[in-house]
Each structure stands twice: as structure tokens, then as C-alpha cells.
Amino acid sequence: MTTNLPFSQACENNKAPILGRLREVFEAPGKVLEVGTGTGQHAVHFAKAMPHLQWQPTDHPDATHISRPRLERAALPNILPIIDLDVGTDHWPVESFTWAFSANTAHIMAWSEVEQMFRGIGERLPEDGAFCLYGPFNNRGEYSSDSNRRFDQHLRSQAAHMGIRDLLDLSALAESAGMTLAENHPMPANNRLLVFQRMP
């Protein structure tokens, strides 16, 4: 029974579609850095489905306790112990990985933290690596749906630093960090999976 574990219905709904795309990117054996592990549902689902990967869960020091019970209960050999990662600092406790993944974080972080997340990943991503970012995004200032418009208004009413990010701004961040937006996949519930690859 897992009913006593922290649970996100959104994670449960989107884990299968996300996995379908991640399989195309994370094909070879390697290590995946997950920024913002949350409840751990993604980490467990993806690591179980892709045993050729080492999955490195991370979260803000104030939030690692949320996923730890689920990760420990799953006891998968390819999930590494979760580590504290505050992307807003210069010190990252992980120095090397093959790929990076983050879901529903860019609209929660302050913009300065989004910038530092891209910079931190870009500094460590190998030539054949990629950064997969999932969530709702605007395109040239336009919302993709009325539901995303309402969600953005809700976020900004909760905290001024939050809000749905624009693809142009994220692409510019990626380029400043040595990456380029290589793939942009539509996903259910008006979300997208962006794949940023190291520039040649």
C-alpha cells in the first residue's frame, strides 16, 4: 500500500506520456539528474522503466523529505540516494551527469533560479547530453489555452516570483548556457516537453 505517501495526481496522469518521450532521448546507459523530484513518482516510474539509467533525484533542502519515503520504499537499484540541490546557489553537489530532467519547476522558481538552473546544467552537460524540461509554457507571450491563462493568474496571485515562462526566454537562456532547443513536443493537458541539447 502506498496511500500514505505524498501523491500528485498530475504526476500520475503525465508520467506515461513523459516516459514515452524520455525513452527517445535517454537511450544509452547514463546518469540522469532530476531537478525537483517532488513526490518521487516520476523518479520511481522512469527508473523502473529504464533500468539502463542511473537516476539521481534532487530537491531543494526544504523539500527532499517529501520524496524520500517513496524512493526508499521502491528500493530500486538504479535510483541513487536523493541529494539536496538549491539551484539558486553556485555550489551544486553533483558534478557530472549524462542528461538532466525537470518537471513543473520553471513556473514555481523565481526567474533568477531558472537562469541558474540552466547555467548549472549547461556547465556540466556533456557534448552528447540533453536537458528535458516539462511543463506549461507560453509562446511569444501567448497562452496555449484558457486553462493555462487561469493557472498563470493563480500562480502570480500566490507569489509574485512565479508564473508560466515563455519559450523565447527559455531558448535565450539555453543559448547563453551553451544549449539549444532541439525538440518541442506537445503533451497532454496543454503542457510541453522541451529538449535542450548541447550546442556543437
Q: What is the pLDDT of residue 151?
A: 97
Ordered by where they begin, the domains of the chain are 9-198 (3.40.50.150)
Which DSSP state fits 189? G
- For residues 83 and 33, give the distance between their C-alpha atoms in angstroms, rounded to a whole number: 10
- For residues 67 and 40, give the distance between their C-alpha atoms in angstroms, rounded to a whole number: 5
- Check if the beta carbon of residue 138 is closer than 8 Å to that of residue 107: no
Q: Cα-flanking dihedrals φ and ψ of residue 146, to 5°?
A: -65, -35
- For residues 32 and 98, give the distance between their C-alpha atoms in angstroms, rounded to a whole number: 6
pTM for this prediction: 0.97
Nearest Cα neighbor of 94 from 107, 80, 108 is: 80
- Check if the beta carbon of residue 116 is closer than 8 Å to that of residue 173: no
Give 47-86 pLDDT, tens digit per residue: 999 999 999 999 999 999 999 999 999 999 999 999 999 9
pLDDT higher than threshold 60 for residue 2: no
Q: What is the pLDDT of residue 56?
A: 98
Give 141-199 pLDDT, tens digit per residue: 999 999 999 999 999 999 999 999 999 999 999 999 999 999 999 999 999 999 999 98
Treating both helix axes as pointing N-terminal to C-terminal, what angle do 167-176 and 111-124 enclose, rounded to 10 degrees? Answer: 40
- For residues 22 and 159, give the distance between their C-alpha atoms in angstroms, rounded to a whole number: 31
Q: What percent of the chain has pLDDT over 90?
A: 96
Which DSSP state fits 139? B
> What is the torsion angle, in degrees rounded to the nearest 10, for the CA atoms of residue 103, residue 108, residue 109 and residue 115?
60
Confidence of residue 1 (pLDDT cuts 50, 70, 90): very low
Beta bridge partners of 102: 133
